[in-house]
Structure 1
């Protein structure tokens, strides 16, 4: 049996660099902590529905909770609404013992709620982005109020990782809403209830979301009375609010970090984002059919120069989906910067006849000044070898509406600049590259149909032996590197800045914002 214990925030503060250290004597406390918590400084104002969320779990997990989450180091899973779980020897049955918890309206959280939630998450009609990831689930049972049993049709090494993203939802509040109407229900932004340390009280359109302390929280009464998530038009506005004391925390880009390094009023938190940024070739577009064209794109981009000049060195080049040493074979192609080789490859492939200098739409949902500069550099480098790309930045909902349509217009996104997490669980990359995940089945937005890659991913996900799993993922890396479904670029560090007045605060640069063990009931702020 795996027992999942929640560490106290005081213990985390002593152990982890992601925690702002607490003084011996707790100072007088302010009632409200404000910050730019949700999906970076720009915010994602419609991000209230955890079934549809691909980011923002730093915020969502303050009032919704999953069965399990990662610890603050992203090294292991810990219990949230599950106190323990057992996996059968054939890895087809997962049995969870559930914690005693209550919804924010006072009703008990039960195994039937968990069963109901997994059913919603597995049903694509709800708008769930987790449906494809939960496809191995063949049955969910609730034999008693505190026991949940999940049965699989085949072993899935990534099930626990997927369950960290499944926020538990109340059956009594949502069961009357038809599945195909759930995504657009006003419930998410007006009266949502979860089991977390804080409960939803107010949303002011395009301005902020307010949460109030859940005084009956099983983990203890929160130290704060309120937590407010502010939205900002751009990173500069968030930084100005932070310096003015209007908020106490925000995400920042790497190029903003130097202005805080020597300021004792703030602590900079740094960590691996576990997100690989890539140029995604739309494989339904004829311009990318020849592998030599995709190889030319890789050789045309000076990744080291971009990393040093724009990221300030705070990124690592990626030659497949992974950068972790144990997952990257030593003999893969590093795709060194070589514009002359890029030109030669394009000539061999007949690029002038394939495209003839026509503009290629490069679609992205990254809208920060850093991303704009990165894409300008990529555009200039590709132009030098004869590839004419035109960046188009849109917000995340617009991006998803374009790339996830089953009959998507190829001309709108012949190329994408995007990111997908490559950890903590290596299987996370499967949804973006497996042929079985092509929309509407899943988020393989580049429509990659590479049999060797699908086979390698399937084999890795089904590998029951943890000792052998790294080798399976090394094979995934080899196929990615040689076949180039994406032009992988780098994995960047991620940064947050928090006022040193904030105590016992845990923030981790996790992919999608987590969720991870943060114990917000212990957060406080000195006057």
Structure 2
């Protein structure tokens, strides 16, 4: 039984998603070859400082240019299609996945085989390897390679989210990595010095914190890429990337919603807009005693005027989130709307004894969002919370620093009592599980706030185990109810996301995907006009 259609139905609607193939807007002839430069990791999450896809929480737009997964979303994020797997089938009991592999080679000329898939999945399941997929792949019972072109994955129980997880697991070369001990692989120099993949471009150079250069892979199974080189530039802040785009130094970058108006009327650029599928939230570190009383967490929701922030700072390009979802089919009737009510917030804080618990002592709120928009959002939150007696102090850091703090296995939980962050809630609704389920507490997963709420975990487990697509939405509505009632996060909004590309690009596809994808961008077709 081939479940491509079934799994497509599980994906959230892509009606709001904009993935535009861009053609030359000035009639210029296309250059043969050429170099395309972009700020592909600028934006939410930013440059991780690590090119290891097993540890990546963002940056897939770039990683997928030289690494590839077995399966991948199409550029509308509407269905899952083959990548390194030509075809796949799922058994009737949804416990056996059979992949027929494409015939291709690694960038060093060695053949890609089923043994590489088995090696990659075993490594991705290994917590010692620093893999963010360890818990998500915990249901994998075995990975077999009956021949070079066939992989059979057997699960201990059905897992409707398995294909979605596999879109993010980039295949790795056994012959290049097997000799490195698992506990050393997470931050090994290989990732930034000599990585090899199967994708349309080959890794050639990394200048620390400045750029990565890739060269066309002439042996790519999809044909030699149209461009000779891809360069990914890194910038200290998004404003520098926008300046480089305007000057022609780069041809693409992510932009905030408040930058869109400066490009939308300029024929030299194309604006790409779509749903981010990311819920932004204020997260409460559950190992910090301040947040044990639900009334204090509720006070955050009532104290922040989300509608005002959405209108004044996002220009209306966001939807308020009252749970971890905003998609209509996942949000049940009757949940608390948490409308702006500072007096109610004050009352709840008084009932909880906030003055004795903390009072006006400053509380750090950690974030990896460093754009001017994020700075303004946090300033607005700070002012609103101060009105009810909560004193937050924003601390914005780069992504490597943020990850080193929140994923620490020991140390002071007070290093981040609060966070302002985002986590994808689509295109498959199961994605939110990694940040909320008790089973996903690091090192197993990304539950960095150490949330241990039985109602939330039980609802997620039930949704993840639901094999009937017709009942899936109802299960995730239960997740919405649990997060709305328990408030592991103070959910803020789901915003649109924007990219701007030079009109000189042809056949360029960028999708505002959570964490940068991955998705089917056909990078080998990208070209640039003279």
Same fold (TM over 0.5): yes
Partner Cα separation in structure 2 for residue 437 and residue 28 of structure 1: 48
Q: How far apart are 1:240 and its partner, in Å?
A: 1.1
Q: CA RMSD in A?
A: 1.7
Matches within 5 A, 1:5-16: none
**2: CA distance, partners of 1:154 / 1:41:** 34
Where in structure 2 are the equivalents of 1:116-515 lying within 5 Å? 116-515=119-518
Instruction: Mark the CA change 1:42 to 1:32 in structure 2 (over 3 Å): closer, same or farther.
Output: farther
SS of the equivalent of 1:151 reads: strand
Cα deviation for residue 401 of structure 1 reads 1.5
Find the aligned partners of 1:311 and 1:409 in 2 and give their Cα distance. 34
Give the equivalent residue in structure 2 for 1:12. none
- Pairing 1:20–2:22 present: yes
Q: C-alpha displacement at 1:517, in angstroms?
A: 0.4
**Does the aligned pair in 2 maintain the 1:224–1:521 contact within 8 Å?**
yes
Q: CA deviation at 1:440?
A: 2.6
User: Would you say the 8 A contact 1:3–1:84 is kept in 2?
Assistant: no
Aligned residues: 518
Quote the Cα distance in structure 2 between the aligned partners of 1:335 and 1:306.
Answer: 15
**Is the 8 Å Cα contact of residues 44 and 369 (structure 2) preserved in structure 1?**
no
- State TM-score, norm by structure 1: 0.96
How far did residue 29 of structure 1 move? 3.9
Q: Cα 1:72–1:176, aligned 2, differ >3 Å: closer, same or farther?
A: same
Q: 3-state SS of the aligned residue for 1:347?
A: helix
Contact kept, 8 Å, 2:42 with 2:235, in 1: the verdict is no
Distance 1:329 1:43, change over 3 A: closer
CA distance in 2, matches of 1:205, 1:194: 20
Determine the C-alpha separation between the residues in 1 that align with 2:201 and 2:481.
45
Aligned to 1:10: none
Tell me, in whole angstroms, the C-alpha distance in 1 between the residues paired with 2:4 and 2:436: 32
Residues 423 and 130 of structure 1, relative CA distance in 2, 3 Å threshold: same
Contact residue 252 and residue 495 of structure 1 kept, 8 A: yes
SS of 2:337's equivalent?
Answer: coil
Task: Give distance in 1, aligned partners of 2:35 and 2:505.
Answer: 11
Between the aligned partners of 1:408 and 1:420, the Cα distance in structure 2 is 24
Tell me the secondary structure at the aligned position of residue 272 of structure 1. Answer: strand
**Which of 114, 130, 152 in structure 1 is aligned with 2:117?**
114
CA deviation map 1:226-267 (0-9, x unaligned): 010011111111111111111111111111111001000000
Report the CA distance shift for 1:332/1:205 in structure 2 as closer, same or farther (over 3 A): same
Does the 8 Å contact 2:325/2:480 carry over to 1? yes
SS of residue matched to 1:2: coil
Q: Pick from 510, 518, 524: which aligns with 1:521?
A: 524
Partner Cα distance (1:408, 1:433) in 2: 21
- Are the aligned partners of 1:4 and 1:84 in contact in 2 as well (CA < 8 Å)? no
What displacement does 1:410 show?
Answer: 2.1
SS of residue in 2 equivalent to 1:130: coil
Q: Give the direction of change, closer, same or farther, for the CA distance of 1:467–1:292 in structure 2 (3 Å limit).
A: same
Q: CA deviation at 1:16?
A: 6.8
Q: Return the alpha-carbon distance in structure 1 between the equivalents of residues 136 and 194 of structure 2.
A: 28
Which is further off, 495-504 or 440-449? 440-449
Residues 515, 234 of structure 1: alpha-carbon distance in 2 compared, 3 angstrom cutoff = same
* CA shift digits 1:131-185 (9 cap, x unpaired): 1111111111111101111111111111111101100000011101110111121
Q: What is the distance in 1 between the residues matched to 2:240 and 2:397?
A: 19
Deviation, structure 1 residue 18: 2.0
Deviation per CA, 1:424-448: give whole Å up to 9, x if none.
1101111111111122322111111
Q: Would the alpha carbon gap of residues 110 and 59 (structure 1) be closer, same or farther in structure 2, given more than 3 Å must change?
A: same
Aligned residue for 1:260, secondary structure, equals: helix
* Structure 1 residues without counterparts, runs of 5 or longer: 6-14
Deviation at 1:39, TM superposition (A): 4.2
The 3-state SS of whatever aligns with 2:264 is coil
TM-score (norm 2): 0.95
For residues 342-400 of structure 1, give each alpha carbon's deviation from its aligned partner in whole angstroms, at most 9, with x where no partner exists: 11111111111111222111111111111111111111100000011111111112212
Q: Confirm or deny that 1:55 pairs with 2:58.
A: yes
Deviations 1:188-213 (A, max 9, x none): 11111000000001111121100000
Do 1:18 and 1:72's aligned partners in 2 also have CA atoms closer than 8 Å? Answer: no
For the residues of structure 2 that align with 1:263 and 1:41, how far apart are their CA atoms?
25
